[in-house]
Structure formats: C-alpha cells, structure tokens
Structure 1
Amino acid sequence: MEKTLNVQGMTCGNCKMSVEGALKKLDGVSAAEVNLDTGNVEVAFDESKVHVDAMKEAIEEQGYHVSA
C-alpha cells in the first residue's frame, strides 16, 4: 500500500534524511521518499505490519508536524 503524508517544517537535506530514516526503521515500511518542494512524503508499506498512526508518530518524533 502507498500513502502520501503532508509534513510541515522540512526544509533541507538533513530534514529529508531524518524523516526517511525514521520511517524506514519501522517494520513494514519498504520505502519512504521525501519531496522538499511539496512537503510530501510518499510511503510504501505493508498495512498488516504498520499503521499510518505509527508513521505519523515517527515523523513527529523527528520534530515535524504531519497535517494529513
């Protein structure tokens, strides 16, 4: 399954690496791609292993706000 999350506060390459890294550590997330221009994160995941709420929490723990 794929999901697009809108993340506020990402402005640089370090932001991108932090968010992608946090998501990829979650069991069930196979890919995470940040687009700094749009503020979106495309996440590919196995919904039987990980829930969207866990992904939002992982991003917010990095200091960013998920609005969608």
Structure 2
Amino acid sequence: MKQKFSIEGMSCGHCVARVENAVNELPGIQKVKIHLKRSNGTVKFDEGQVNSEQIAEKINDTGYKAKAV
C-alpha cells in the first residue's frame, strides 16, 4: 500500500533524514520519500506488517506532527 502523510514542523534536511530513518525502522516499510518544501511524504508499506496509524505515530514520536491524508 502507498499512503501520503502531511508532516508539520520540519525545517531542514536533517528533519527529513530523521523522519525517513525513523519510519524505516518499522517492519514492512518498502519505500519512504519525504518532501521538506511540501511538508509531506509518501510511504509504501506492507499492510500485513504495519498500518498508517503506526507510521504516523512513529513520525509523531520524532517530534513532528503527522497525519494520513
């Protein structure tokens, strides 16, 4: 499955890397692409191992505000 997320609070490339690294720690993640200027990102994942809510929670745990859109 592919899911888009809005992500508030990112201000630099380090923020993007932090979010990408955190999401990639979850099981079932296949691809993560975060866009700083658009304040969003797209995650491709295996629904049998992880869901959108878990991904948003992981992003929120890094200090940013995420929600599936």
TM-score (norm 2): 0.93
Residue identity opposite 2:29 in structure 1 = V
Provide the residue aligned with 2:33 in structure 1: 33
Are the counterparts in 2 of residues 8 and 67 from structure 1 also a CA contact under 8 Å?
Answer: no
Distance in 2 of aligned mates of 1:24 and 1:52: 13
Provide the residue aligned with 2:44 in structure 1: 44
* Runs of 4+ that moved beyond 4 A: none
Per the TM alignment, residue 42 of structure 1 is displaced from its structure 2 partner at its CA by 0.7
Per the TM alignment, residue 67 of structure 1 is displaced from its structure 2 partner at its CA by 3.7
Provide the residue aligned with 2:4 in structure 1: 4
Provide the residue aligned with 1:22 in structure 2: 22
Number of residue pairs matched by the alignment: 68
Residue segments in structure 2 that go unaligned for 5+ positions in a row: none
3-state SS in 1 of match to 2:54: helix
3-state SS in 1 of match to 2:56: helix
Distance in 2 of aligned mates of 1:29 and 1:39: 20
Alpha carbon RMSD of aligned pairs, Å?
A: 0.8
Residue segments in structure 1 that go unaligned for 5+ positions in a row: none
TM-score (norm 1): 0.94
